[in-house]
Structure 1
């Protein structure tokens, strides 16, 4: 089957200042898409938008905290005022907090939920309403393998990603019940990838942040998102280990829980000591500005 041409499509990307979002913006600019880039770090967004414009496409940069309902409404409004339509909306913005449940401040756990789940809900609502008016559109929500299984010390993050996957499932059912054949809801479910996520995460574990292994190339997720924009499917687990872990959770839940708990404890709770930090949960930080951090090479 011939690949769908993305040239001229209007794409909104949240969390575009680094990681998957930044990689996706660069890739879609090469595809000829018009881009609406959203994140909290306006200076990085402006630089990225200008980089995209040098490839001959239109690109807007909008400082946006997706946990703010009004900010997401403004994002949708500006995108429509500028381009008149939205073809693809990618809810990518996300934060995390590591540590024992009782050690992570409750307000920071709430902020993880607000950013990851409510931010996705807000974006999905504005995108879906516009897609209904157009009778077409593709909603792509970046969830996680943890939307179908779980690990300790990431309680709020895991809960938020379960919520994102559930939201996608339920909304997809509504789309099909309504017979909206040209509206699609896609869940991209990455395993651990070598992005600045682990630079931005709040850390209350008492130890230096240690990403789990295997750690994958972020470009694999970028490719999965582009593939969903071309030929949308229901969900895509990105990372071979995610497929195995989710299958184990379904087939042998007790054994899977025990194995994941032991692995995560060994990974995160046995390392060098570190002070507590809220990372980028409450407000953006300067660290972590690229797509790929390079931990795989250092390892």
Structure 2
């Protein structure tokens, strides 16, 4: 990845840093010379990521955090400020999913999905933004999803939360611009389906093995987008050409697009996927599995073919 000299020495807080986009971004920010504050529920996994960041040339502070807990998020901000003196970039990345017919997913799983994905982003945004105002600058990056602007069936609480993340980011960005808050940036990244442990952590109440949607992209694309936006802020970026197309189609032909996406999702997950047990995944409790950045499903599929 290209060097971004302006990131050298910056303080970057990353939630969901134990795997996927968060882990990859943490190592890349460290490679750029940043000080990274790593947040996730899995302390042991965070320690591993911290060592990777230090080996890459940065400094790392692991903090065990449940983003759905307001007090944890406030303490995360306080730790970053007390240890590093400021916060330059805050990345709200932690997220979970729940897959299944709306009525089959337990209500507490729906609730926790929204707490993690939306309230976790709200808490992080709140404490980061207040610090940015005090400093006079800072960049907030919220990871939403292409499903924050479109929808598919069977991801109801996840889609609701990601629509909320988009709305939160858009509204806060309007406040910043309306009040001419120079130096503070609100950025939203909307990935399509990428080959991270997301599908290994998702709750699954379909009666089938989870079938990740196609195409499944390289997580490095999102990691590069995160670092680019941290270096040169932009309001919004969709990552994945199919996501750009889906959002455009949803705006131009909403009824047709909704019907088509629903049919594809149903066929992939309920008609073609092999039977599998129900599982709460990592929604309510962390799991040891799935700590990589890239799960390599794409390569495994290619080998089978």
With structure 1 as the length reference, what TM-score do the two structures score? 0.98
Whether the 8 Å contact between 1:4 and 1:231 is mirrored in structure 2 is no
| 1: CA distance, partners of 2:223 / 2:51 | 20
State the Cα deviation string for residues 66-119 of structure 1 (Å, max 9, x = none): 000000011001000001100000000000000000000001000000000000
| 2: CA distance, partners of 1:38 / 1:239 | 26
State the Cα deviation string for residues 252-292 of structure 1 (Å, max 9, x = none): 00000001000100111121111110000001001101000
CA distance 1:282–1:178, shift in 2 (3 Å): same
Q: How many residues align?
A: 298
| 1: CA distance, partners of 2:166 / 2:100 | 23
SS at match of 2:196: coil
Q: Which residue of 2 aligns with 1:285?
A: 287
| 1:169-180 correspondence runs (5 A) | 169-180=170-181
SS at match of 1:126: helix
SS at match of 1:107: helix
Uncovered stretches (5+) of structure 1, i.e. residues with no partner: none
Q: Which residue of 2 aligns with 1:198?
A: 199
State the Cα deviation string for residues 113-155 of structure 1 (Å, max 9, x = none): 0000000000000000000001100000000000000000000
Detail structure 1 runs of 4+ shifted over 4 Å in the superposition. none
| 1:238-249 correspondence runs (5 A) | 238-249=239-250
State the Cα deviation string for residues 207-231 of structure 1 (Å, max 9, x = none): 0000000000000000000010011
Q: Tell me by how many angstroms 1:10 deviates.
A: 0.1
Q: Which residue of 2 aligns with 1:136?
A: 137
Q: Which residue of 2 aligns with 1:295?
A: 297
| 2: CA distance, partners of 1:249 / 1:202 | 27
Aligned residues: CA RMSD: 1.0
SS at match of 2:188: strand
Is 1:209 aligned with 2:210? yes
Q: Which is worse superposed, 56-65 or 156-165?
A: 56-65
Q: Which residue of 1 aligns with 2:45?
A: 44
With structure 2 as the length reference, what TM-score do the two structures score? 0.96
Q: Tell me by how many angstroms 1:56 deviates.
A: 3.4
